Structure 1
Amino acid sequence: MRPGNLLRYDQTLFRDPEVFEFTFVPELLHHRDAQVRELACLLRPALRGAGPGSAVLRGPPGTGKTTTVRRLFADIEDATKKLVPVYVNCQYDRTPLAVYRCIFERLSGYAPPSTGRHLDDLKRGIAVRLRNEDAGLVVCLDDANYLAAAGRLNTLLYQILRLYEKWDVRKAGVLAVSSDLTLNLAAEVDERVRSVFHPTEVNFLPYTKAEVREILAERIRQGLYPGVMPPPLLDRIAGIAAEERDIRVGIDLVRLAVLRAEEDGRRRVDPVDVTGAVRAIVAPVLRTRAAGLSEGERALACRIAERSREGADMTSGAVFEAAKEYLPVGKTTYHEHLKRLAEAGIVDLVPGTGRGREREVVLRYDPDEVAAVCARPDRSG
């Protein structure tokens, strides 16, 4: 490498490193126009003095749900004072007190005292500020599935949606976000809540490879200097992220590959940088997805990995015939295990030409990595 092509110690390949943070909210939100329009339509009545609507946002992780809400909320804050949007991350704030503290801080501009402030005091303070501003309220409960798991979803929805009954404010709206596709949030609540919670379901499908590439290309344009990421390597990263069905994997791969090039003093990302980034990021993703599998599901994954490595027949029937020699399961349990592996994102079940439930089982990861991860329960956490 010529000395002129080396990066000096005080130089960087990042024009704006914040662009590659998961909390970054882009000015242009690609491929989520339909979802933005649907949510904006639900919230529009608040601009006319009525209460906003509610919605459940459903989709796998990394499909743009949180970014869409944050972009929409930022636009609302810039455009009007008639509606106050409040974002709550329920992974961290999952009690009624914690959620109301978030709402209070957003409305008042300062956090309430950590002790000595009762829930009714917070509600009273929230109501006073809403009345003084003649404003409506919409609360995003991101990762609301954590509230459901903790048994608090019903209580929180009841309190927020019926806030108007006691405190003389407009009826609030709730955007409940969930990445758990097996969970029906609307069905988790009781009749008291259903009488006021009529959410529109807004679905977020995984991005296609072309969509992932466009999103990553825009981030690269904003966050890196020209020429740092060669187009063929961007194509490779986009393909990996599309296979993972998670745009965050692509963003992290770009960031880590560029860091590797920078640490090596190069001005351009090489294939070795991407390969190293993949090893550092994709394998932990696989471990995370396998962490919740049962012993039987892990054993089946190992048999699938073995057959995939051998190039054997991967139709679901052939896999079952081979697996039953090692696993004491019947067809019903086998198909339940197979469905769980598909839900975890470890295999794809591709419709075949056969009749009935016949599918081709396609492994989404390297067979050796799947065998290594699924051979025994992960103890790293």
Structure 2
Amino acid sequence: MSKDMLLWDETLFSNGEILEFDYLPDYFVHRDSQMQSLRFSLKPALRGMRPVNCLVKGPPGTGKTTAVMKVFNEMKEYTDNVVFVKVNCQMDSTRFAVVSRIYEQLVHITPPSSGVAFRRLFEKVIKYLLDANKTLVVALDDINYLFPEGHADEVMYSLLRAHEQYPGARISIIAIISDVGIPYRFDPRVGSVFLPEEIAFPRYESDEIGDIIDNRIRHAFFQDVVSSEARDKVVSYVDMTGDLRIGIDLLKRSGLNAERRARRTVSVEDVEKAYEASRLLHLCRNIKSLSDHEKTLLRLIAKDSSLQTGELYKAFHEITGLGYTRFYEIIEKMHVSRLINADFSGKGMRGRTRYVEPVPDSKDILKCLE
């Protein structure tokens, strides 16, 4: 057997768990001011007061969710009177789904997905909080996904004004927004009670990226497994995309590529090969979260981006039987999610004509839809 060949029980990873997306790192740096702002905003909860709401915003992969979860974990050590709940709005994208997730995390029972009125479920959540005399802090992660159909305002309004109908209810919201260049706006009725502390998470600088990647390499791999050239390549890809999650996924895939080739070191070639898969990772995750009808529309757009909205609707209706209102809602949702661009061209016989085109490469979209 070749001396470079890895045996079945051999691996390049000393602790591969560090490279998983849901891993909460002990080493979390370059976000001190943001962490302090979160702590200051939530501190009133320790004294039985309603915490200050927060709007956490920044590009994808800049540590927003990690910072919130680490502060949650810190506070859990100091109080039993505050319940911390995180909701992934990409997966739970309606008012009922959000409240169902909150209920599930409070009482550890999953409510039925149908047959239960929103009001009844919401009252159960409030009753639990009042009976237990607990404050609820909800992190609405990727709240972007609630905006297109008005669900963001519905969720925020219900939670933030609960104390008006149920005196004594203490609920605070941390809205986490991935800033992808699409404007967002809360209804004035929500804005008047939200009044958040805004906490910005900028892109990591190149030296900060290098520091974080070095730490992950040091703790995830055995010594001298990742070459300096491979490390620099990973850092350059993260610097180019601005998304640290891509770098962490690159490390994992690069290590697996090296193992597949039965090598004991990770090379630049392993990183480059991994990037082809990693760059599609988040696109495929976004597409996977879409409903069947949304995937149908996205497939039509990816196959022919020259269609006007009227022609596109006709093709969509023939396949799904859905009406124009639902068609328009899906268009808006995917526009906000940066899957498509649905701007008006300013051309056309009757005024402005709206063309719909994919933002990512059509081939990449169709690959994720396979």
TM above 0.5, yes or no, is yes
**Paired residues of 1:81 and 1:133 also in contact (CA < 8 A):** no
**Structure 2: gaps spanning 5 or more residues:** 287-297, 307-337, 340-359
**Paired residues of 1:130 and 1:169 also in contact (CA < 8 A):** no
Match of 1:206 in 2: 203
> How do 1:1-381 and structure 2 match up within 5 A?
3-185=2-184, 187-190=185-188, 192-282=189-279, 379-380=366-367, 381=369
**Paired residues of 1:213 and 1:238 also in contact (CA < 8 A):** yes
**Paired residues of 1:82 and 1:134 also in contact (CA < 8 A):** yes
**Paired residues of 2:280 and 2:364 also in contact (CA < 8 A):** no
Q: Greater CA radius of gyration, 1 or 2?
A: 1
1:247 and 1:58 mapped to 2: Cα distance? 15
Q: CA deviation at 1:183?
A: 4.3
SS of 2:249's partner is helix
What amino acid does structure 2 have at the position aligned with 1:182? G
SS of 1:31's partner is coil
Match of 1:366 in 2: none
Q: CA deviation at 1:288?
A: 11
Match of 1:333 in 2: none
SS of 2:199's partner is strand
**Paired residues of 1:62 and 1:245 also in contact (CA < 8 A):** yes
2:160 and 2:281 mapped to 1: Cα distance? 39
What's the TM-score once normalised by structure 1's chain length?
0.72
Q: CA deviation at 1:52?
A: 0.9
1:194/1:188 CA distance change after superposition, 3 Å: closer
Question: Deviation string for 1:123-148 (max 9, x for gaps)?
Answer: 22222322233221111111111111
| Number of residues of Structure 1 aligned to a counterpart in Structure 2 | 304
1:30 and 1:216 mapped to 2: Cα distance? 12
Q: CA deviation at 1:284?
A: 7.2
SS of 1:188's partner is coil
Q: CA deviation at 1:167?
A: 2.3
**Paired residues of 2:229 and 2:267 also in contact (CA < 8 A):** no
**Paired residues of 1:54 and 1:200 also in contact (CA < 8 A):** yes
1:101 and 1:283 mapped to 2: Cα distance? 31
**Paired residues of 2:6 and 2:264 also in contact (CA < 8 A):** yes
What amino acid does structure 1 have at the position aligned with 2:199? V
What amino acid does structure 1 have at the position aligned with 2:215? E
2:128 and 2:164 mapped to 1: Cα distance? 16
1:175/1:222 CA distance change after superposition, 3 Å: same
SS of 1:104's partner is helix
SS of 1:38's partner is helix
1:231/1:176 CA distance change after superposition, 3 Å: same
**Paired residues of 2:62 and 2:203 also in contact (CA < 8 A):** yes
Question: Deviation string for 1:90-138 (max 9, x for gaps)?
Answer: 1111111111111111111222234443223322222232223322111
What amino acid does structure 2 have at the position aligned with 1:198? L
Q: CA deviation at 1:279?
A: 3.2
SS of 2:87's partner is strand
What amino acid does structure 2 have at the position aligned with 1:143? D
Instruction: Among all aligned residue pairs of Structure 1 and Structure 2, give the percentage whose two residues are the same amino acid.
Output: 34
**Paired residues of 2:52 and 2:196 also in contact (CA < 8 A):** yes
Q: CA deviation at 1:376?
A: 8.4
1:91/1:288 CA distance change after superposition, 3 Å: closer
1:13/1:62 CA distance change after superposition, 3 Å: same
1:159/1:179 CA distance change after superposition, 3 Å: same
**Paired residues of 2:126 and 2:169 also in contact (CA < 8 A):** no
**Structure 1: gaps spanning 5 or more residues:** 297-342, 345-372
What's the TM-score once normalised by structure 2's chain length?
0.74
1:105/1:378 CA distance change after superposition, 3 Å: closer
1:261/1:150 CA distance change after superposition, 3 Å: same
Q: Once superposed, what is the RMSD of the aligned Cα atoms?
A: 3.0
1:178/1:237 CA distance change after superposition, 3 Å: same
Q: CA deviation at 1:255?
A: 0.8
Of structures 1 and 2, the one with the larger relative CO (CA 8 A, separation 6+) is 2
What amino acid does structure 1 have at the position aligned with 2:253? L
What amino acid does structure 2 have at the position aligned with 1:132? D
1:87/1:31 CA distance change after superposition, 3 Å: same
1:99/1:277 CA distance change after superposition, 3 Å: same
1:169 and 1:117 mapped to 2: Cα distance? 25
